[in-house]
Each structure stands twice: as structure tokens, then as C-alpha cells.
Amino acid sequence: MDIIILSLALSADAFGAALAVGMRRMGLWNMLVMSLTVGIMHIIMPLTSMTAGNELQEIFGRAIFSAGGVILVLTGLQMVLSLLKNESDIKRPVGIGILFFAFGVSMDSFSTGLSLGVLGMDKMMAVVSFGLSSALFTMAGLLLSRRLGAMAGKAGEAAGGLVLMFLGLKWLLSV
């Protein structure tokens, strides 16, 4: 159940960013490419960091479990603090910009993957859930962006950040 909640929280970040970026006119093909790229990046980033998390668990034991909770809290805090940024001149990514966009919105899944790797959670279930939900949420954000303002995108990102902070605190308190 935690993996599904994490997937939704991490996808909220991609959804919020897609809402902000999608206010620039984009064709359906570009939306599909961007959504798939975000989904793939949300698979690659946590899969890479989960492997590192398993190795660190063997070396450092329970101390790294606490670090995983701290990472989740800090990632969530960063997402919430993004409300203070002025991003009114966001441009629509094209070409390599789509890859950079996907990488940027997937950074939180890297740190989350490290935490999950420490916990020894099922890698395949987690990364497939992260990838599918982030691709779907990105597409939904792009499609809805013309109807909603930039503040809705930031609120979605902040909500995802709050969920990550909650899960991180939950893990820290269970140590």
C-alpha cells in the first residue's frame, strides 16, 4: 500500500509540472512523448537508487533506514517550498528539453528509490507503479493545463510533497 501512495505522491510532482508546462500549446504527439519520457525516467531513477539502497543497508544497517526517512521528508519539503518560486515564464520543452524535464521531475523518485531500496521493498512493483502513475499523471496534467492556472500545478506539487513528508515521518517514527 505504501508503494501505491508513494507512486501517487511522486506523480503529483509530475502532474504539477505538466500543468505548468502544458499551458503552452502542445500537440498530442508531444504530450505523449513527454508523458512516456517522464514514466520511463520514473522507472530508471528509482531502480538505480534502489540497488544502491540495498547495498547500503547491508553495510550500515538500521541507521540508513532513518536516513531514508529523512530523505523522504527533505524531498517533500523541497516540493512544498517550490510554491515560493516564481515560475511564470515556464516554456514548453522540446527535443532534449523533454529529457531534461523528465529528469527534473524524476529526481524525487531517485531519492525515494534509495529509501525503498534500504527497506528492501519489491523493486519491480515499485518502479512499474512509479512509471505508470507518473506517465498517466503527466498526460493528465498536460491535458488539463489549458483549463487550470499555474497555481493549481503548484498546489498539486505541494500536496505530493506533503504526502512524502508524512511517509518519511512515519518511517522515522517506526525506527
* Per-residue model confidence as pLDDT tens digits over 50-100: 777 666 666 665 665 566 567 667 766 766 776 666 555 445 667 787 878
Instruction: Output the nine-digit C-alpha cell for 163.
Output: 504526502
15-53 per-position pLDDT tens digit? 877 776 776 667 889 899 999 999 999 999 888 887 776
Q: State whether residue 146 is helix, strand or coil.
A: coil
What's the number of domains the chain is made of? 1
- pLDDT score of 139 more than 90: yes
Angstrom distance (rounded) from CA 130 to CA 5: 10
Kindly report the pTM of this predicted structure.
0.67
Instruction: Output the nine-digit C-alpha cell for 164.
Output: 512524502
Range of the domain at 31: 2-173
